[in-house]
């Protein structure tokens, strides 16, 4: 029994680490396609980002993809790194905190945000493998 618990906890930990790495990779490479794979297919994502981006709404995964495509085309990322330890909130739920530094491509103004990703562990309804994965349910940013 204890071996099963260790395997399940290891799977949670490894898949959370992969999700965090994919978030970092998406911002560093300015590639919204990587984020799209972390968005839930059948529910909305709450996204709230202050000025200069100024966006706050519930959107579908496709709308979030197009939003981040627009953001990445308008703002160049200098650095993006997540805190080493995600915040545990409830079972199968984590909040990942990261720092995001970027500049406006039009006027070279620089910004620094703390950005939070609310992740939940969800079953994949349309796929056999993996049977479950971490999905982003909310993205909230605040100016540093």
Parse the chain into domains and list their residue ranges: 2-143
Reference 38, options 50, 56, 26; nearest CA is 26
Q: What tokens does 10 get?
A: 């290891």
Q: Within 10 Å of residue 40's Cβ, how many Cβ atoms?
A: 16
Q: What tokens does 58 get?
A: 């519930």
CA distances in angstroms from 136 to 4, 43, 54, 95, 143, listed in the order given: 27, 10, 20, 10, 21
Q: How confident is the model at residue 85 (pLDDT cuts 50, 70, 90)?
A: low
Collect all residues with Cβ–Cβ distance below 8 Å to 81 and sequence separation of at least 6.
Answer: 24, 98, 99
3-state secondary structure of 131: coil
Write down the pLDDT at residue 41: 85
Kindly tell me if the per-residue pLDDT of 53 is higher than 50. Answer: yes
Q: Which CATH number fits domain 2-143: 3.30.460.80, 3.10.450.50, 3.50.50.60, 3.40.50.300?
A: 3.10.450.50
What string of DSSP letters covers 58-98? Answer: EE-HHHHHHHHHHHHHHEEEEEEEE-SSPEEEETTEEEEEE
Name the DSSP class of 12.
H
The 10s digit of each residue's pLDDT in 93-139 is 888 999 999 999 999 999 999 999 999 988 766 655 555 688 999 99
What string of DSSP letters covers 14-46? Answer: HHHHHHHHHHHHHHHTT-HHHHHTTS-SSS-EE
Mean pLDDT value across the chain: 84
């Amino acid at each position: 029994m204890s071996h099963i618990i260790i395997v399940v906890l290891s799977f949670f930990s490894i898949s959370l680490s992969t999700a965090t790495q994919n978030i970092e990779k998406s911002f560093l490479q300015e590639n919204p396609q990587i984020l799209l794979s972390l968005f839930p297919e059948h529910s909305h994502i709450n996204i709230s980002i202050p000025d200069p981006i100024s966006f706050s709404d519930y959107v579908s995964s496709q709308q979030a993809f197009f939003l981040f495509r627009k953001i990445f085309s308008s703002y160049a990322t200098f650095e993006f790194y997540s805190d080493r330890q995600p915040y545990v909130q409830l079972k199968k739920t984590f909040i990942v905190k990261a720092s995001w530094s970027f500049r406006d491509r039009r006027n070279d103004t620089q910004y620094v945000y703390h950005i939070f990703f609310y992740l939940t562990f969800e079953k994949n309804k349309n796929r056999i493998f993996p049977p479950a994965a971490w999905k982003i349910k909310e993205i909230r940013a605040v100016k540093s």
